[in-house]
Amino acid sequence: MHRPVKKLEKKDEVAIVEFEVTPIMSTYLVAFVVGDFDHIQEKTSDNVLVRVYTPKGQKEHGEFALQVAKKVLPYYNNYFGISYPLPKIDLVAIADFSSGAMENWGLVTYREVCLLVDPENTSTVHKQYIALVVAHELAHQWFGNLVTMEWWTHLWLNEGYASFVEFLCVAHLFPEYDIWSQFVTDTYISALELDALKNSHPIEVPVGHPSEIDEIFDDISYHKGASVIRMLHSYIGDEDFRKGMKLYLTRHSYSNAETEDLWAALEESCKKPVRAVMSSWTKQQGFPVLKVEQRQDGDDRVLNLSQERFLADGSVDEEKSLWMIPVSVSTSRAPGQVAFSEIMNERTKEITIKNVPEGTWLKINPGTIGFYRTRYSPEDLSLLLPAVKDRSLPPLDRLGLLDDLFAMVQAGHTSTVEVLRLMQAFKDEDNYTVWSSIVNIMGKLDVLVSSHEDSHESFKAFGRSLMRTVSKRLGWNPKSGENHLDTLLRSLALGRMAALNDKATIEEAKVRFDAYVSQGKTLPADLRSPVYRAILSVGDITTYETMLKLYREATLHEEKDRILRSLGALKDEALLVKVLEFAMSDEVRAQDTVFSIMSVAMNYRGRQLAWRFFKDNWKKLMDRYEGAFLLTRLVKFTTENFVTEEAARDVEDFFAKHPIPGTERTVQQSVETIRLNAAWHARDMEAIKNFLASQKYEEE
């Protein structure tokens, strides 16, 4: 914005007016905070004042966020080649806050659990999460604040980029996190799962009315946006990516931009057809599956590739969508390294990979970077199995292979038994991110089999057999020199073993919980979630009351949150009703009610209870959360895990009679997911039963 300043004079009958340039700040970035806080502060290496404001008496809990923010700003200054333009940045922990955080320029507001770290009570995974949230919000000081989207259609320019850059930054600050591997399980896979639905939407989605805005703050704008940027970053290389970012940010500083402006800047920096390639990913809904057929030609391998849109119901794409796919291939000679890469802009393509002897494997999409699924023939998949078992195939390729096959199973392209057999190849798996993907798949299989009591018990035995080796290797106590990912894996493995009714895990959890509650012994923060869920899974009214006592005594909000999210592990339906009622009480902050209800909905015994509770209290919930994306999340998690056509009609009919503005697309996605589950159940349940019944396990 230009404005005239005080000086106005005439020279030779010509009026001369001096102007100064005043930066424009979007009105949604203005914030004032009034409250009684403590704070700590330091300056960055380039002299920006960083302050973290905490509740009174908790300023030491802001130390981790302060140190992260102090390093994040100089990193971004250097990476983007543009300095943070303000003299200070404040990070404020807010007690009641519907969003996780908000990037107000120079005054970033956070929910307490997204900012505060107590060394004794904060888990390793949560500390890592806080580093990512801080990096995300500070990335917005450039993407969103310095350059603002022209309209909500381009929301992903804010959120997709910040979601990518947060990982870029945390990978630099904390290399021990191996955060890019976690990106695949936490971000990339969730985007693929949502985008396979017919009721998904393009990254660039037309927004015609303010009521539609909340709906696009979802895994497409954030997670798919970040995933296609990661793919683009790999395609053009880091150096040209940085040059393009600097050009884009410089050219549009203190103004608005559209997606095309970004492509123009990146194309200028790398001299590659960025606009043509990326428009196929942002303007059209969905993503492709790459079908692979192989044949041997002497010492060379010939690949016949064909692409089509991947749809979760296995149907054929009538629109004949086409993508420009950055295809890459690795071979057994150099696992994880790209042996071939090329843009595939046609429906079918034949490529030859030199020096790949017969009987050795090829892996499409090494590093799981391209935003697409791969479908191998059973013969080609079998070539990869030994590399899964001996772990010569890198972790991201192992989990990508499994996740792609599972997607083919859900779409009806192959039997569920095939993925159960592949999972057995992972018994000696040692990588946290691979296990995260396995646990995600097991959770979805559990939804399918939980209504069949005998099969459910057999499935739990299958899971215990699968996870016993990793659980025993890690044990309950950290090892000397243990790496970051093993710390995360211990909590994941113990929590899953407890959910699978492993007696030894539950008994040890009881001992540790009793020592913590009755004797005042330390229960490390990394173990609390699995221990709480384990003892609640076999708990009674006394256990429930004990957990409520811990909740009421907790001063750190993360601990309260951890307890609320664990209560859904109870199996007594009368107690689950109490959990739902407690969630709506004055003792639970409105922002946390949603997560407590969701924890009940994720329990197969509580699924119907949570849905009934939602229907009985829908007006109260709508009044409480109107206009907040929390309501959208609640709708999603209380509805999508049913497996019958009757449930699909129930959900459909309820929201037809009780429409909730801003949740329309979420309802459509949930109904579609329920019908996919029902079709999957009808198609494969008998084969799953037979497979599980045929297995023999040695229980300990």
Tell me what the mean pLDDT of segment 578-597 comes to: 94
- Give the model's confidence band at 97: pLDDT under 50 very low, under 70 low, under 90 confident, else very high: confident
pLDDT, residue 129, reads 97
Instruction: For the beta carbon of residue 85, count every other beta carbon within 10 angstroms.
Output: 15
pLDDT of residue 207: 73
User: How confident is the model at residue 166, as a pLDDT?
Assistant: 97
pLDDT at 2: 30
The pLDDT tens digits of the residues spanning 601-657 come to: 999 999 999 999 999 999 999 888 876 678 888 999 999 999 999 999 999 999 999
Mean pLDDT of 143-159: 85
- Structural element, H or E, at residue 52: strand 49-55
Write down the pLDDT at residue 464. Answer: 97
pLDDT per residue as tens digits for the range 61-85: 999 999 999 999 999 999 999 999 9
C-alpha distances out from residue 315 to 220, 318, 414, 576, Å = 21, 9, 14, 39
The beta strands (E) that lie in 130-179 are given as 147-149
pLDDT of residue 699: 67
137 is catalytic: yes
- The fraction of the chain above a pLDDT of 90, given in percent, is 84
Instruction: Look at residue 7 and tell me whether its pLDDT is greater than 70.
Output: no
pLDDT band at 216 (very low <50, low <70, confident <90, very high): low
**419-456 confidence digits (pLDDT tens):** 999 999 999 999 999 999 999 999 999 999 998 988 99
Q: pLDDT per residue over 262-272, tens digit each?
A: 999 999 999 99
**Please, which residues have CB within 8 angstroms of residue 453's CB and are 6 or more apart in sequence?**
none
Whether residue 174 has pLDDT greater than 50: yes
Structure-block tokens of residue 579: 């959990």
Check whether 698 is labelled as a binding-site residue: no
Confidence of residue 416 (pLDDT cuts 50, 70, 90): very high
Average pLDDT of the chain?
Answer: 92
Answer yes or no: is 140 a known binding residue.
yes
Tens of pLDDT, residue by residue over 547-574, are 999 999 999 999 999 999 999 999 999 9
pLDDT at 526: 97
Determine the average pLDDT of the residues in 173-193. 96
Tell me how far apart the alpha carbons of residues 253 and 264 are, in angstroms, rounded to a whole number. Answer: 15
Give the pLDDT score at 544.
Answer: 98
Say yes or no to pLDDT of 6 above 70. no
Bridge partner residues of 349 (DSSP): 305
Report the pLDDT averaged over residues 367-396.
Answer: 95
**Residue 14 pLDDT greater than 70, yes or no:** no
Q: Which domains does the chain have, with CATH numbers?
A: 27-267 (1.10.390.10), 288-414 (2.60.40.1910), 463-694 (1.25.50.20)
CA distances from 324 to 97, 245, 290, 330, 342 (A): 41, 22, 12, 20, 10
Identify the pLDDT of residue 209.
66
Model pLDDT, residue 451: 87
SS3 per-residue string spanning 457-480: HHHHHHHHHHHHHHHHHHCCCCCC
Residue from 137, 166, 204, 215 carrying the catalytic annotation: 137
Other CB atoms within 10 Å distance of the CB of residue 681: 18
